[in-house]
Amino acid sequence: MKPRIPSIGKAIQMALQLDLFSDFLVPDKLRPAPVKAPAPNPLKDAGQGHELRPVAPPPTTFVNSSNKRRILIQDYLLEYDLQRSKRRSIGFLINEDGLRITAPRWVTIADIETAIQEKQAWILRKLTERRERTQRKLEPSMTWQDGAKLPYLGGEITLRIAPASVIGTHFQSEQAELIINLPADAGEQQLKDRVQAWLQQEAKRVFNERLPVFAEKLNVRYQSMALSAAATRWGSCTSQGKIRLNWRLIHFSPMIIDYVIAHELAHLREMNHSPRFWATVQSVFPDFEIARQNLRQHAGANLPIF
């Protein structure tokens, strides 16, 4: 018996069931390259945001060798790698090798490109985020000297070095200046150690102030809180109520800090990431989606290296 081939309408419906991945890394080679549209004016603003619709059907698909394909999206040529599989829906994945689309064997190229057009806002947004991350990496790293800027609670404070016989640290909130008293012969590492110690002290203070607020809202009890220096995790929670929060969160805004705290405390009610868990987070932090997106965007920022 021949396999049943779904109708075009069914194919499009299934094509729109897109898989999303929590972490997207768009390589530089996917940076959109401007292309000159064929004359006369084949693309015209349809009056719906940034969406461009062709007046006449110009060629929008370009085929390379292997599985590489290109499609014209908003005056940009987007290259993607098409892989066929036994899966039942179209999957989008942006990784170090570029944009890869995995689709069932029976889905046509036209249906795949319809799905790409539906997903174009997400694709272009991720490309923009990638360019911004790349630009931040190209910016000069922090120089540990008097007058340097230090990220703190979503803003910046100025580092002031004051030679003194006695080591001390003082924060002047009015001027947003962190004054570090060090001996005249102190080295750079001593300065870094003093700044890191102060930031960790501030992190502990802020975390201990915000944890009880969200614990009361969620009606949960946590056993302890400890600072973490994990390279890939902002927080963790055990079933015994032991909370660990990355001290580098002190660089970010209070909204992001509150989101991570609410996230970890919500695990005391749901030790998973199910829909019920996210509903629990939303019950005490309605804007968690915004905060989560902001955290993802800032995660690749140039933070001070201690």
pTM for this model (two decimals): 0.59
Q: Are residues 153 and 294 both part of a single domain?
A: yes
What is the structure's pLDDT at 11?
42
What is the structure's pLDDT at 255?
95
Residue finishing a domain among 138, 162, 179: 138
Judge whether 114 and 10 are in contact, CB under 8 Å: no
Does pLDDT of 265 surpass 90?
yes
Mean pLDDT value of segment 4-10: 46
- Domain membership of residue 179 as a residue range: 149-299
Q: Are residues 75 and 167 both part of a single domain?
A: no
Q: Are residues 153 and 295 both part of a single domain?
A: yes
Residue 71 phi/psi, 5° resolution? -135, 145
Tokens representing residue 214 in the block: 């969200």
Q: How many domains does the chain have?
A: 2
List all residues 6 or more positions away from 5 whose beta carbon is below 8 Å from its beta carbon: 106
Asked if residue 144 is part of any domain, the answer here is no
Tokens representing residue 39 in the block: 């004359």
Mean pLDDT value of segment 82-93: 87
Tokens representing residue 52 in the block: 């461009």
Give residue 148's Cα distance to chain centre: 26
Q: Are residues 154 and 271 both part of a single domain?
A: yes
Q: What is the CATH number of the domain that holds 153?
A: 3.30.2010.10
Q: Are residues 219 and 242 both part of a single domain?
A: yes
Asked if residue 304 is part of any domain, the answer here is no
Amino acid (one-letter) located at 255? M
Q: Are residues 285 and 184 both part of a single domain?
A: yes
Asked if residue 119 is part of any domain, the answer here is yes
Tracing tokens 């005391």 back to the chain, one arrives at 268
Q: Across the chain, what does the average pLDDT equal?
A: 78
Q: Are residues 89 and 221 both part of a single domain?
A: no
Does pLDDT of 278 surpass 70?
yes
What is the structure's pLDDT at 58?
44
Percent of residues in the chain assigned helix, strand, coil, to nearest 5: 35, 25, 35
Q: Are residues 77 and 193 both part of a single domain?
A: no
Q: Are residues 295 and 153 both part of a single domain?
A: yes
Lowest mean pLDDT among 51-55, 144-148, 169-173, 272-276: 51-55
Angle at 138 between CA 253 and CA 234, to 5 degrees: 35
Judge whether 241 and 225 are in contact, CB under 8 Å: no
Residue 164 phi/psi, 5° resolution? -160, 160
Asked if residue 3 is part of any domain, the answer here is no
What is the structure's pLDDT at 129?
72
Judge whether 192 and 144 are in contact, CB under 8 Å: yes
Q: Are residues 159 and 290 both part of a single domain?
A: yes
Give the C-alpha separation, 133 to 130, whole Å: 5
Residue 28: C-alpha distances to residues 77, 96, 119, 276 (Å)? 14, 9, 20, 37
